Structure 1
Amino acid sequence: MEKGSVSAGYLKSILDYAVDKGASRSALLAAIELDDTIFADADNRVPMEKFRRMMQLGVEHTNNLAFSLDYCWDMPFVRTSIVGLIAESTANMGEALEQLNRYGKLVAEVDIGTAGERFALVPEGHELWLEDTRLNPNEFPELTESTFGRFICEFRRHFGDTPFVKRIKVTHDRPVHYKDYDRVLQAPVEFAADRNAMEIETSWLTVETDYADRYAFGILSKHADALLKELESSKTMKGRAESIMIPVLHTGELTMDQVAEKMGLSRQSLYRGLKAEGISFEQLRDDLRHKMACHYLAEKKVSANETAYLVGFSDPSAFSRAFKRWTGQAPGSWQAVG
């Protein structure tokens, strides 16, 4: 089973694309047991397994076996993640690849074992291969499709039919929709190969990008560095618990037993893990409500009463008292000033 996580923005782009192609938004969200509130912050994290299921549901609900390939052409990278914006602000494709390796886990955090980088440049004689080092790729072939589709479609989006990929190798067996690989990827594909890789033109690395902007690059990189630090902290017991709690915070009282079960732990193990990090479950829940309440109010898209519901308060007055305890202000006053 795929481990790791993806950004909420990435998952939302898959969801939006499926809905645009005729799928039911509510049915898709119900199937993966998520609520729209997770998308309030595009940088929230969603378990990889839910993302994998969403990709498969996209195929089923749109009746399109090439769903993950077509998604890459129809949905530009800049609309899915900050990483797309960073790549577009670099000077050339070589630098874009460097930044993709640096920040790629903000889009999709996958297992690459002991490999230093997910995307490795491998010279072989006169050939240059771009290899995806993701482990156990055949557990999620749709991710392989969308990974290579993204490389190829983004380049074509900016540079037309300029040659880039000479041939492609994928480790999964030839699928029923193999002809769609030719249509979208426009390069010979070898199935059931020994690795996932594309032979590329060596000149690709020096191709200058369309919209290089060093100022934007600096601003975006600073934000991405902060997100990477936050992602690393999510591997703590506190961070793991928060990632479970955020999508269901609106349901009301979350108990330690419920969260422990979702984490695959006993109540006592969760208690000891949080205690070792200097926080109780009750404090964690209270801090999370505070953080998310401030986020929702700062966006100024929902009222104080709606925010109360989103962070799990059924009584607006109870939320108002809690918010005054957190900030010293009433929710409405804080929102007006912010």
Structure 2
Amino acid sequence: MSEPMMAAGFVAAFLDYASEKGAPRGALLTASGLREEDLDDQDNRVPIAAYQAMIGAGIAATQDTALLLRHTLDTKLETISIVGQIVHTSASLAHSIEQLNRYLRLMSENDAVAGQDRFELLAQNGEAWIVDHMPIGGSSEAPPYLALEASFARFISEFRRSFPDLTFELEMEVTYGPPPHVQDYPDLFRVPVRFNSTRNALRIDPVWLSADSAFEPGHQYAFGIFTRHADGLLQELERSDGIRAQIEGQILPDLHKGSLSMDKISRDLGMSRQTLYRRLKEEGVTFAEIHDSLRERMARDYLAARKVSVNETAYLLGFSEASSFVRAFKRWTGMTPSAFREEGAGA
């Protein structure tokens, strides 16, 4: 199992915020094992464990256990993630929660809940609730209250900014006990909080369930742009989950060896040869096709960059003879490697 990942935008935003509050920036990065360049692109993927370690270091440095909560209340989701742009151009609360459930994985891979959406908008006995179904665990770096605090604080803060003259939040129910900074809850959440409850839920003004509570119109065009971008990101994540991507990751370092063993790859992936064969069949591809396709893609990259010769490219791709590489490249592209290389130089 690969480790759960999340969007770098959230980590970068917390790093900036914690640094402004007095936590040494270098120490936060060291604790997380991340580099500044890992956080340059908000859509980049970084380990959730790295984020949790950074939060722990930030709390230790500032001696403020409410640091993540304050950060969430003070920042705008649309500046951190494409999902924030989608939520802010949605047609209504119900529509925004639908989009949130759809694109949660772009923010954090552990937000998914097996068999159901994470967030549910619930009408119950004349009341309106947003229920968070994510199972809450805890660790030394991430106590159980942190994720829920941030979850409900995000809803509250976004509505406070977008609709400052309207009531949104009314009360909270949480499954965890009072956190170390419980004395700050009245000032930060501004609603009653019931601890050690049977569910994690935020009660809101029922007006947000009505048809009259539609958000400001005119965002359909922007909504379409943002969702197309998000759909592309989701497709990239889905491709990276496939057995093809896993095999490519295993064979790329040994591509220059030429002959690769399917038995070895299956062992490296922690599965039997029969299981690997079945997974490949399900994706409609063979081991040989993956090997051949990866060779073609790398050949194009090497030759287009013009940093290695045709003979060197043949070696890097595991061809025993340059003539075999030339024949393979003509099969892939209809061109000789030399012609392709020169054409790239001209472009």
TM-score, structure 2 as length reference: 0.70
CA distance in 1, matches of 2:58, 2:26: 13
CA distance in 1, matches of 2:114, 2:237: 19
Deviations along 1:255-289, whole A, 9 cap, x unmatched?
Answer: 89xxxxxxxx9636489769957445x959x85x9
Equivalent position amino acid for 1:267 in 2: D
Contact 1:130 1:199 in 2 (8 A): yes
Cα offset for 1:47?
2.3
Aligned partner (choices 104, 129, 154) of residue 150 of structure 1: 154
CA distance in 2, matches of 1:198, 1:44: 31
Match of 2:241, SS state, is coil
CA distance in 2, matches of 1:5, 1:243: 17
Cα 1:317/1:229, change in 2 over 3 Å: closer
Contact 2:97 2:121 in 1 (8 A): no
CA distance in 2, matches of 1:243, 1:267: 11
Deviations along 1:115-142, whole A, 9 cap, x unmatched?
Answer: 4211012332222221101023455421
CA distance in 1, matches of 2:31, 2:114: 34
Cα offset for 1:318?
5.7
Cα 1:86/1:145, change in 2 over 3 Å: same
**Partner residue, 1:229:** 235
**Partner residue, 1:167:** 171
Cα 1:104/1:172, change in 2 over 3 Å: same
**Partner residue, 1:18:** 18
Cα offset for 1:94?
2.4
Mean Cα displacement is larger for which, 195-204 or 136-145? 136-145
CA distance in 2, matches of 1:232, 1:207: 35
CA distance in 1, matches of 2:247, 2:154: 32
Cα 1:185/1:161, change in 2 over 3 Å: farther
Equivalent position amino acid for 1:219 in 2: I
**Partner residue, 1:104:** 104
**Partner residue, 1:59:** 59
Cα 1:113/1:86, change in 2 over 3 Å: closer
Cα 1:211/1:182, change in 2 over 3 Å: farther
Contact 2:104 2:111 in 1 (8 A): no
Cα offset for 1:196?
0.8
CA distance in 2, matches of 1:141, 1:243: 36
- The number of residue pairs the alignment matches comes to 296
Cα 1:208/1:8, change in 2 over 3 Å: same
Aligned partner (choices 198, 204, 207) of residue 203 of structure 1: 207
Mean Cα displacement is larger for which, 140-149 or 24-33? 24-33
Cα 1:199/1:290, change in 2 over 3 Å: farther
CA distance in 1, matches of 2:249, 2:171: 39
CA distance in 1, matches of 2:272, 2:37: 27
Contact 1:138 1:172 in 2 (8 A): no
Contact 1:83 1:100 in 2 (8 A): yes
CA distance in 2, matches of 1:192, 1:235: 37
**Partner residue, 2:328:** none
Deviations along 1:204-236, whole A, 9 cap, x unmatched?
Answer: 245343575111111111111111122222223
Contact 1:88 1:96 in 2 (8 A): yes
Matched, 1:91 2:91: yes
**Partner residue, 1:82:** 82
Cα offset for 1:75?
1.2
Cα offset for 1:333?
6.8
Equivalent position amino acid for 2:230 in 1: A
Identical counterparts, % of pairs? 33
Cα 1:268/1:151, change in 2 over 3 Å: closer
Within a 5 Å distance, the mapping from 1:108-257 to structure 2 comes to 108-138=108-138, 140-160=144-164, 162-205=166-209, 206-210=212-216, 212-237=218-243, 239=245
Cα 1:84/1:329, change in 2 over 3 Å: farther
CA distance in 1, matches of 2:12, 2:52: 13
Equivalent position amino acid for 1:222 in 2: R
TM-score, structure 1 as length reference: 0.72
CA distance in 2, matches of 1:188, 1:242: 52
The structure with higher relative contact order (CA 8 Å, sep 6+) is: 1
Mean Cα displacement is larger for which, 215-224 or 121-130? 121-130
Please, which runs of 5 or more residues in structure 2 have no aligned partner? 256-265, 314-336
Match of 1:110, SS state, is helix
**Partner residue, 1:261:** none
Cα 1:111/1:102, change in 2 over 3 Å: closer
Cα 1:215/1:62, change in 2 over 3 Å: same
Please, which runs of 5 or more residues in structure 1 have no aligned partner? 245-252, 257-264, 295-303, 305-315
CA distance in 2, matches of 1:157, 1:243: 44
> What RMSD, in angstroms, separates the aligned Cα atoms of the two structures?
4.2
Cα offset for 1:84?
0.4
Larger Rg: 2
